[in-house]
Amino acid sequence: MTQKEQHLSDLKQIRSLMEKSTRFLSLSGLSGVFIGVFALFGAMAAYVYFDYSFYYGETQDMIYFADSQTRNQFLLFVFTDALSVLLLALSFGFYFTWRKAKRRGDKIWDNTFKRLLINLFIPLVAGGLFGLILLYHGEVAILPAITLIFYGLALVNASHYTLNDVRALGILEIFLGLIAVFFIGYGLFFWAVGFGVLHIIYGTLMYFKYERN
């Protein structure tokens, strides 16, 4: 190695270490697995509720035209289902990440984690609000696709502050969301794949890559 190459590689190392040390690395693969499992449970409940079908093309009619009792019942079910999935997924997600952080001797609530959450939640909250506004207009047709796309963007954004692998998951979610726009009415299926299957696969891969040793 010439002197110049030596200096150049020094600079590269400095840059890479500065980057690596400012990322939250305790993100647990098991968190991903459990988030996926609960998402699948939620999707299963909806699948049963929709009379064992992934197709719910009449949802829009249900929200727009059905009598208020049917409509309220439908909305109540959707909110209960979504909220329980969210709460269970978040609590188990936090638990396994907390456990991994503890095992590594890291504090979970450190700067890297705060930075990760803030950058994850900016696109996520924007997407959530956008979805709610669509719902307010009774536009549910592209809602599943929108949630997947915004979630994917949030992951890509967050990947700068944690394991780089999160970026790949984000890109897959965006891709899946775009495909979902073509298949209006099959949102439940795409949700099950995006929030369920992809999380389980990602989490399992991460678990074997970083944790099982």
Residue numbers at the binding site for other proteins (CB under 8 A): 3-4, 7-8, 10-11, 13-14, 17-18, 20-22, 25, 104-106, 111
Rounded to a whole number of angstroms, the minimum distance from the CB of residue 106 to other proteins is 7
The smaller minimum CB distance to other proteins, of residues 18 and 69, is found at 18
Rounded to a whole number of angstroms, the minimum distance from the CB of residue 6 to other proteins is 10
User: 3-state SS of the chain: helix, strand, coil percent to 5?
Assistant: 80, 0, 20
The smaller minimum CB distance to other proteins, of residues 16 and 72, is found at 16
The smaller minimum CB distance to other proteins, of residues 15 and 48, is found at 15
| Torsions phi, psi for 162 (to 5 deg) | -150, -160
Rounded to a whole number of angstroms, the minimum distance from the CB of residue 110 to other proteins is 9
Rounded to a whole number of angstroms, the minimum distance from the CB of residue 164 to other proteins is 15
Rounded to a whole number of angstroms, the minimum distance from the CB of residue 210 to other proteins is 11
**Is the dihedral angle over the CA atoms 58, 63, 66, 71 positive or is it negative?**
positive
Amino acid making up residue 142: I
Q: Quickly tell me which residue has 């093309």 as its tokens.
A: 57
The smaller minimum CB distance to other proteins, of residues 4 and 212, is found at 4
The smaller minimum CB distance to other proteins, of residues 102 and 126, is found at 102
What the block records as the tokens of 196 is 């369920």
Of 198, 200, 161, 151, nearest to 27 by C-alpha is 161
Q: Quickly tell me which residue has 């999707």 as its tokens.
A: 43
Query: How far is Cα 151 from Cα 136, in angstroms, rounded to an integer?
Result: 20
